[in-house]
Amino acid sequence: MNDRLSRLHASRSAAVKAGLNHPVIDTDVHVNDYAPALEDYIQHYGGSRLVDALRKALGSRFATRNGEGRDWYAQTPAERRHHRTMRSPWWARVTRNTLDLATYTLPELLAERLEEQGADYSVLFPNDVLAPLGAGNEYRQPLHRAINHYHADVYRKYADRLTPVAGIPLNTPQEGIEELEFAVKTLGLKVINIAGGVKRPIPAVAEKYPPAEHPLVARYAHYTDFYGIDSEYDYDPFWQKVVELGVPVTTHYGSQGWTGRQSISNYMYNHIGHFADGSQAFAKALFFGGVTRRFPQLRVALLEGGADWGVHVYAHLVDRWEKRNRVAVQQYNPANADLDLLEDLFRRYGGELTDGRPVNRDTLLVDSLGISALPHSREPNEDEIDDFALAGIERVEDIKARWVDSFYFGSEADDRTVAAAFNDKVNPLGTKINAIWSSDVGHWDVPDLTEPLAESWDLVEQGVIGAADFKALVFDNPYRFYTQANADFFKGTAVERIAAQRG
């Protein structure tokens, strides 16, 4: 006990927390699973074959391989270059800080040290929670079910301050619904974590090169389905079930391996900005696909990418809609060009360019000036000119409702760009973006779990954000995210007690 109190006294974050009049909610804590205990659950759900499937999925989760299946570290530099094998993450866990390493694996120790961290309540993302996505079709659902069951059991004792997410597979809407209902109704879990997209074969390529016969082609020739616009399936039944059950949706969706993030030698080159890019693709798919219009109660948190990308997408949605809504886009309709005037101006002022060549307004002028983006094909019809149609955007306020209100953006403690989220002088309609405090403890970017809250408070002392913004970041916005999806989310927790005590 004395050792614990001495650590608590030494924590900068505990000192910051002591001066606050509101709870602190951490929306992103990463924990490890103790393999022998987890595998007991896996064995129960599917025997040794399921255990082997999990081990295989875990072994391949981060490794990138060449055509012969050899991972990056087993390849020579020449082989990496020949196969363009991307360098994957490495040394991703805290090790020198052994106390923290144990804390992320032992639920009782984590619960004890939460006060030292400065948090009142933490949402946990076990590092293995989406590992089953790398398993085959026959293993994916039972693995998810077993892993979710394990997490629900080991953290249930600490439910007043800790809650783990449920990993939900979404290769099909029905698969997602089945695991969602089991996680919520049977296990009592109340937050879900999904991948922001699923890779699918390109039909035209798969027809010519069947994946079973040409696995290497299938590995590289694919597209990503982001569950919204242009999706292979209608995911509305899944989103409807999410809303019906009152479940907040979270994702840590990255883009390492995408074009521009395929360095064969440098992990940092591939890493910086990849969560923002991946989450942006997913969020835009929901927005442009009309998901946030059809399900205004849906709440989605996009973690580890910061909030500044949410700001600039919001601003770009507004300025592009103003230029390219179904009325404004007529400014670029080739039919609206005055070809008589254009021909006259060329004759009067274009002599040096035309050099005596006849000016043919139907070919030379139209083609050379790029008046039509489709000079050799048909123009888009009336149903094809409004990119904002599915989103149902009729005014700027609709963009705010379907982007700002629906999405929350996880910002790590030392992320100075979070200031953009609170800059209502710049953001359209004087809006503040929903930044939520996401410490990311448990990963390499947080070498000491006692520091993140203090690091966020440093931003206040440095004038990067204001005290009211800090409160919004660590309490108001996270509280709203969870309770807008489920009004009883914090019932019986430390957050409810503290909020009641402090009014």
C-alpha span between 249 and 183 (Å, rounded): 13
DSSP labels, 336-400: GS-HHHHHHHHHHH-HHHHTT----IIIIIHHHHT--S-TTSPPP-GGGS-TTTTTT-SSHHHHI
pLDDT tens figures, 18-30: 999 999 999 999 9
What pLDDT, on a 0 to 100 scale, did the predictor assign at position 5? 44
Contact 188, 196 (CB under 8 A): no
Amino acid identity of residue 155, one-letter, is Y
CB 117 within 8 A of CB 26: yes
Question: Could you tell me which of 415, 436, 424 has the C-alpha nearest to residue 479?
Answer: 436
For the cut 60, the answer to whether the pLDDT of residue 226 exceeds it is: yes
- Distance CA(394)–CA(326), nearest Å, equals 9
- The residue that leads in pLDDT, 336 or 154, is 154
Q: Give the DSSP letter string of 383-452.
A: GGS-TTTTTT-SSHHHHIIIIITTEEEEE-TT-GGGGGGG-TTTSGGGPPP-EEE---BTBTT-S-TTSH
Q: Provide the mean pLDDT of the chain.
A: 92
What pLDDT is attached to residue 92?
Answer: 87
What's the pLDDT band for 373 if we cut at 50, 70, 90? low
Domains of the chain: 2-323+395-502 (3.20.20.140), 334-378 (no CATH)
pLDDT for the residue 397: 98
Say whether pLDDT at 196 is over 90.
Answer: yes
Reply yes or no on whether the pLDDT at 481 is more than 90. Answer: yes
Strand-by-strand arrangement of the 121-126 sheet = 25-31, 121-126, 162-164
Residue 408 Cα distances to 81, 84, 395, 476, 494, angstroms: 39, 35, 22, 12, 22
- Residue 245 has a pLDDT of 98
At residue 364, the pLDDT reads 66
Average pLDDT over residues 175-189: 98
Among all chains, which residue has been given the structure tokens 């094909």? 377
Q: What does the pLDDT look like over 45-74, one tens digit per residue?
A: 999 999 999 999 887 766 777 767 788 999
* CA-based nearest residue to 127, from 466, 442, 463: 442
> pLDDT, tens digit, for every residue of 344-371?
888 888 888 888 777 777 666 666 776 6
At position 388, the amino acid (one-letter code) is F
Would the pLDDT of 374 be above 60?
A: no
Question: pLDDT (tens digit, 9 = 90+) per residue, 65-100?
Answer: 776 778 899 999 999 999 899 998 888 888 899 999
Residue 503 has what pLDDT?
61
Whether residue 237 is predicted with pLDDT greater than 50 in this model: the reply is yes
Q: What is the pLDDT of residues 248-291, one digit of tens each?
A: 999 999 999 898 999 999 999 999 999 999 999 999 999 999 99
Residue 2 — pLDDT band, cuts 50, 70, 90?
A: very low
For the cut 80, the answer to whether the pLDDT of residue 372 exceeds it is: no
What is the average per-residue pLDDT within 318-322? 97
For residue 308, which amino acid is it? D
* Angle formed at CA 449 by CA 278 and CA 266, multiple of 5 degrees: 40
* Residue-wise pLDDT tens digits, 457-473: 999 999 999 999 999 99
What would the mean pLDDT of 206-221 be, rounded to a whole number? 91
Q: Say how far apart CA 344 and CA 346 lie, in whole Å.
A: 5
Provide the token pair at 43. Answer: 């064995």
Query: In angstroms, rounded to a whole number, what is the distance separating the alpha carbons of residues 9 and 21?
Result: 19
What is the share, in percent, of the chain residues with pLDDT greater than 70? 94
What is the per-residue burial (b if ≥16 Cβ within 10 Å, else e) of 229-238?
bebebebbeb
> Which has the closest alpha carbon to 448: 21, 113, 57?
113
Q: What is the mean pLDDT of residues 309-326?
A: 97
How far apart CA 43 and CA 149 sit, in angstroms, is 12
User: What mean pLDDT do residues 318-332 have?
Assistant: 95
